[in-house]
């Protein structure tokens, strides 16, 4: 038989449109990750303002 390995995952996400830097994207995603962690285990945090910039096709790949 197989072994179980319980996991807990917190995810922070962001999107962008137009010119930006790696540092800006990473910083925004990092802020969302810490927001997810502050809400407890197994949480996802995605900035609604930035999420509205994502197309439906690209947003679907995040889930």
pLDDT digits (tens, 9 = 90+) for 2-21: 899 999 999 999 888 778 88
Band the pLDDT of 32: cuts 50, 70, 90: very high
Place of tokens 């910083």: 27
Token pair belonging to 19: 């010119």
Instruction: Give residue 11's pLDDT.
Output: 94
Band the pLDDT of 50: cuts 50, 70, 90: low
What lies within 8 Å, CB to CB, of 45 at 6+ separation is 10, 11, 12, 13, 32, 33, 35, 36, 39
19 versus 45: the higher-pLDDT residue is: 45
Domain spans of the chain, in order of start: 11-60
């Amino acid at each position: 038989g197989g072994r179980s390995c319980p996991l807990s995952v917190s995810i922070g996400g962001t999107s962008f449109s137009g010119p930006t830097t790696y540092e800006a994207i990473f910083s925004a995603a990092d802020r969302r990750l810490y927001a997810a962690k502050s809400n407890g285990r197994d949480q996802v945090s995605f900035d609604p303002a930035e999420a509205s910039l994502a197309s439906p096709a690209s947003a679907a790949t995040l889930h």
